[in-house]
Structure 1
């Protein structure tokens, strides 16, 4: 053998036919491992082959949830190259597939990747230099049953018209891709974005977010769009990076200029929001090195954060989340329906001058920035080196994915590990204040909850006309969601089929019809009895001269609103409204609605920061 690089430690064994087989260590740069050469009895080399290569090394796990389980996507590298693999996992960390399945083989030369849940299926987006359509960003859908779809070219990565894949986020049926492009210059890295629909058709052109030298970042959905954050430098050779952010609207317009941290050095930020597309705010978390040169030696490192409103305005200054001995880096976070759960790489157990070794820690953080687990708790702090992965939430249960080095046979490499955490203790899902019927600007059934509701639908509330013994169709309503920083979260079933007929009504939200993000349902019917009576401006159930006084006041002062006489909700008090009150004056109702029935306290799921399994490793 005389291959490139070098070969060592030959061992000979007879073949039984007068020939020999030679095993040796092959240090070829592309295919290191153990090889064999077969020599015939006539001393002729008749064959060579690889016998054993190192076990694949798994790294860089990314998680997406369908609300019940997760899809973990990760890189699996061998001497032959890197493949992109996927594995379905339940919230307890148990693999649902016997073996991981391939998203992109090494022949495609996959690069950066992300995974999201969009329109009822998982979507894995990744760059591939040698994909079916060349150097592109591709998408592959994966059904919740684990069946991957075809390669779909989404966008070129060519400078001037495309960009490399940085991060991906979903808001409703919209998908945003964000990344950097050199635009043909080695000294340039500009941040770009583009928005697509759920079928990967572009709905905006490529648009530029900044003009500095952009590095990497993260993006999360909020009400009306996304909050994106990334690190940037003034020039390619500037020594320090700032963390900046922008609010990107669903139509591609955006507002930039926000700086979360400008000094000293800052690591790649992660963004987490408090409710997906209904989120009222987001939190940007990032590593800050107070000593950018030697943070480990001088213990000058911390994870800090800033709260950002859904409109892109800063809601807080800099918040310190974690500041322990040693280095804390690479934060990632998820919203579990009640609070944020963040995880990071931690070196507190191996401070300088000890050799660095990474562990994985986590902490719960309230939406207002209060750290509920000061200092954090260990997810993985064994003698093994553990590297950073991701954190996800499904049905209120949190799962961590990271990589742990397995030195024992047959591995000798980093392997993917998942670990579940019980949902944290929280107040039960409950109704706040008295559910009621709004009549001032429109007609809507209103219910306020202490937490956001998952998967709300117009058919969840049943509205019965007790006067005619009929049920109003769900299609006659739309849903308005009024989110809150903490509580309450207001949900309104608004009538949109004209004006509701006069009469007595009962609206019912049946027990179990809705759940919070932790899967906790309502356990009792929520019943709202109300009347609709055009002309009853003061809502006392009687049409009298007080009501005429209200409409006269509204008419003379150009006011609007039901209490000012706008009984047909057309935005003006006019003679049509006088006609309605005259008609109502001569047809007084014969009964009053019964009292509103409030549900009792709803039992919630309890539990602390505990783990569901013992750190189960997947194949």
Structure 2
């Protein structure tokens, strides 16, 4: 991700320049990627193996990722620490297949970028270069195409798939050259029987491609059939030949070439209610050597999803075994069909669940991949293990391969006496902890090593930060679902954590979570949602600058019926305003209440900030002068928009209907707001472009929207924006944004990014509408002198290079020390209200 700051700078009422954006912590620790990684597939070129899978780390749908693995090294080496992005097209990509030409790889998958389901491929070189990141369409016919399989015939790849362009499922194929050309763009109709043909698998036998599939021509349960396909794509066995016609159901075949024959294995339910693994050998001429099939794995548990590879001497069959909630087992089979390992041996031991195996022979070991759920984790990841020729699993705990730089999420920021403090949640130590760094107003990250703010152990997430008189207070929720507490720690100006064991802000029975914090300039008020009364209420507590919790039992802000959730809090220097999303009558509205600096709730009945039709949620607030501006995400128009309302210091809601801030197409939510000394700056997540970007608006204290702008619209998503106001009008915007490869470092995960506005004075040329004036003002020693002859009744403004107003000027001396050096423009309005503009330079 790269943050685009120009539009944001244009929205500030201060001098600005686009000096770029920065990742607050470029340091990297790799761990299994978040969300699910599923459906592993693999092939080997003997130097390394390419493992591909469907990956949900982006959060919106699944993409195709992969990594290269060297199994010949002493302990196995993952070459691509954060994975290779093979396809990140729109919508969903899943069910990959992989083959190798002996040097490079071809990956195929089912692709829903056009919604219906198509077949795409991508070439990946042995050195990890993804040659076709947009994908090569192999079949975009009507209907659904899925379940691809690939074999290389020495010249071209043959890609086959299950195809629903006609009535029922058929098997189609297409040849793809090594340079990525699709030789059969309309597809080759290989099998179009009126019954269903599904789950194809292929291997090359030195002369032809051996194709096997599941077929329902004889019964709705399905049998296993096979056929040969020559190098021209011609089906040599027009109707196919039966491999298994056993009673009940057979499906999910896999095939591997041996010496003089191939071995086909499949799921088989001939023996009762559970599935077993059976196999049969077939010759290069299509002769079935084991017409009744032979049992590879049978037990009282389910065995399913078999895969197979040949190591030059014997086959290794692997499968998912339902014993102990799911594990990967394997068994060797000799070329004469003798099953060597009965009842099979355990390959995966590192997770609470393991299944969906894939296998390839790398010239030394049989490399087995699978997806598993590791202890203490909720998501599936991909792991591998090597198996030697004697059937020993060399890596029984598995080697994680679907990795990424650890994710950084849910940032917040506060400004101290001299610097910003940016905090976030990150799972670099196995559980989520709270980290932070200090950032100067010039955008320099002070802390070369991130500061761990929360104590070790436990799960800490959802941080919030505010600055008081001498220190900042960072708060977070800690613990597991329904057992979470609100904790915190102070951080001083030097980045030193003063409360290394943490401060327990609220540890009442049941759950306290989603904390927010604000400061009156000395002490702090922490608000949270609280389950102590068997539904969520809003509570708060004051914390002194010395770290003492002044309200140990918590102060009940709202305990109405229904749930009150997602609090927000702001302070005007006299009182705090606590906001929340209120579900009292089944719909979600925005309510609030003022809390005094002494911890007294001033509005015991609550303030109805917005009770419009539809849902209002995710409130945020900032104080300007003595009042407040509240913003939220609003469903009154059938999709989420951004609305706001002003609330006076005495608790009067001035905009009971709400002020429309943004009603663009798509969804807008998660707003943040800050006051820059003149206007309010609002930034939010925005889906008008399909992906989640950040947009913003500048709003006056009177509630007028001056402009809206695109703050961040880069590739990948940007979420959870936060704003913090620093000295001299500096504004920091931070967010969690998708990050690929930066400075040759792979991340492939969300990271915390920030940008500052304003920067140094801009060198951009002024807009074309600005015309040069004949009389220029002058700047001497931080004072701008406007000619005394100027009419004091005619407005005169200083503009930045984007044409935005910086400050109002009056005849005589004007103090410009608050402006950073750069080029500015002075605009006068004549009696006819025609703008006359002259250029001025503020030097260092």
Which range, TM-score by smaller chain?
0.5 to 0.7
Contact 1:243 1:269 in 2 (8 A): yes
Q: Distance in 1 between matches of 2:669 and 2:756?
A: 21
The one of 297, 306, 313 aligned to 2:645? 306
Query: Which secondary structure state, in structure 2, belongs to the residue aligned with residue 343 of structure 1?
Result: strand
Paired position in structure 2 for 1:199: 546
Alignment of 1:40-119 (within 5 A): 44-45=392-393, 47-48=395-396, 49-52=398-401, 53-77=403-427, 80-104=430-454, 107-119=457-469
Q: Distance in 2 between matches of 1:418 and 1:24?
A: 38
Q: Distance in 2 between matches of 1:362 and 1:608?
A: 25
Q: Distance in 1 between matches of 2:387 and 2:686?
A: 53
1:416 deviates by 1.6
Query: Which secondary structure state, in structure 2, belongs to the residue aligned with residue 268 of structure 1?
Result: strand
Q: Distance in 2 between matches of 1:36 and 1:10?
A: 9
1:266 deviates by 0.4
Alignment of 1:246-325 (within 5 A): 246-256=593-603, 257-264=606-613, 265-274=615-624, 279-291=625-637, 295-296=638-639, 301-317=640-656, 318-325=658-665
Per-residue deviation, residues 524-558 of structure 1 (Å, max 9, x unmatched):
xxxxxxxxxxxxxxxxxxxxxxxxxxxxxxxxxxx
Q: Distance in 2 between matches of 1:11 and 1:101?
A: 43
Paired position in structure 2 for 1:365: 699
Contact 1:329 1:346 in 2 (8 A): yes
Q: Distance in 1 between matches of 2:485 and 2:631?
A: 30
Q: Distance in 1 between matches of 2:405 and 2:719?
A: 18
Q: TM-score, normalised by structure 2?
A: 0.44
Q: Distance in 2 between matches of 1:145 and 1:152?
A: 18
1:325 deviates by 2.6
Paired position in structure 1 for 2:111: none
1:77 deviates by 4.1
Paired position in structure 2 for 1:470: none
The one of 730, 734, 739 aligned to 1:397? 730
Change (3 A) 1:424 1:399: same
Contact 2:627 2:648 in 1 (8 A): yes
1:25 deviates by 4.3
Contact 1:32 1:79 in 2 (8 A): no
Contact 2:359 2:366 in 1 (8 A): no
Contact 2:538 2:567 in 1 (8 A): no
Per-residue deviation, residues 134-154 of structure 1 (Å, max 9, x unmatched):
964322222323233312232
Can you give the 5+ residue segments of structure 2 that lack an aligned partner in the other structure? 1-346, 762-778, 784-806, 824-844
The one of 746, 749, 771 aligned to 1:413? 749
Tell me whether 1:603 sits opposite 2:816 in the alignment: yes
Query: Which secondary structure state, in structure 2, belongs to the residue aligned with residue 98 of structure 1?
Result: coil
1:26 deviates by 3.9
Contact 2:407 2:749 in 1 (8 A): yes
Change (3 A) 1:223 1:2: closer
Q: Distance in 1 between matches of 2:705 and 2:672?
A: 15
1:388 deviates by 2.5
Q: How many residues align?
A: 410
Paired position in structure 1 for 2:671: 331
1:315 deviates by 3.8
Structure richer in helix, relative to its length: 1
Structure richer in strand, relative to its length: 2
| Higher Cα Rg, which structure | 2
Higher relative contact order, structure no. (Cα contacts within 8 Å, ≥ 6 residues apart):
2
Alignment of 1:566-585 (within 5 A): none
Query: Which secondary structure state, in structure 1, belongs to the residue aligned with residue 457 of structure 2?
Result: helix
Change (3 A) 1:405 1:609: farther
Change (3 A) 1:245 1:359: same
Contact 2:486 2:515 in 1 (8 A): no
Change (3 A) 1:92 1:370: farther
Alignment of 1:161-176 (within 5 A): 163-176=512-525
Q: CA RMSD in A?
A: 3.5
Alignment of 1:85-234 (within 5 A): 85-104=435-454, 107-129=457-479, 136-149=485-498, 150-159=500-509, 163-185=512-534, 188-204=535-551, 205-210=553-558, 211-212=560-561, 213-234=563-584
1:80 deviates by 4.0
Change (3 A) 1:232 1:326: same
Q: Distance in 2 between matches of 1:381 and 1:243?
A: 29
Per-residue deviation, residues 83-134 of structure 1 (Å, max 9, x unmatched):
322122233544332343323377311133211223322222122228xxx9
1:39 deviates by 5.6
Can you give the 5+ residue segments of structure 1 that lack an aligned partner in the other structure? 350-355, 431-519, 521-598, 611-619
Contact 2:386 2:394 in 1 (8 A): yes
1:606 deviates by 4.6
Contact 2:484 2:512 in 1 (8 A): no
Tell me whether 1:348 sits opposite 2:649 in the alignment: no
1:370 deviates by 2.0
Q: TM-score, normalised by structure 1?
A: 0.60
Per-residue deviation, residues 241-267 of structure 1 (Å, max 9, x unmatched):
111111111112222232111122101
Q: Distance in 1 between matches of 2:519 and 2:714?
A: 36
